Amino acid sequence: MNDSIFGILFGIFVGFGFGVGCTLAVMYSIYMGGYRKAIEESLLDKRPERFAAALQKIQAKLSKQSSQV
């Protein structure tokens, strides 16, 4: 009985603790990579077409929201 409880607790710790921890680490690294890329693109002299399209979309959304208020 005592061995099975130890095994269960160890399994929960390894499965949940490391599983969730590794998942959060991967999500954080993906987020930071995208954030760095966005900062790099915003500092370029000639902005990419994708950046300009996203900026226009955001400005249109903000003007639409301000006109509704």
Q: Per-residue pLDDT tens, the chain, 69 aa: give them.
A: 567 888 888 888 888 878 888 888 888 888 888 888 878 877 888 888 888 898 899 999 999 988 886
CA–CA distance, 69 with 65 (Å, rounded to integer): 7
Residue partners of 13: CB distance under 8 A and separation at least 6 = none
Coil, strand or helix at 65: helix
Q: Check residue 69 and give its pLDDT.
A: 66
CA–CA distance, 16 with 20 (Å, rounded to integer): 6
Show me where the domains of the chain are located.
2-68
Q: Would the pTM count as exceeding 0.75?
A: no
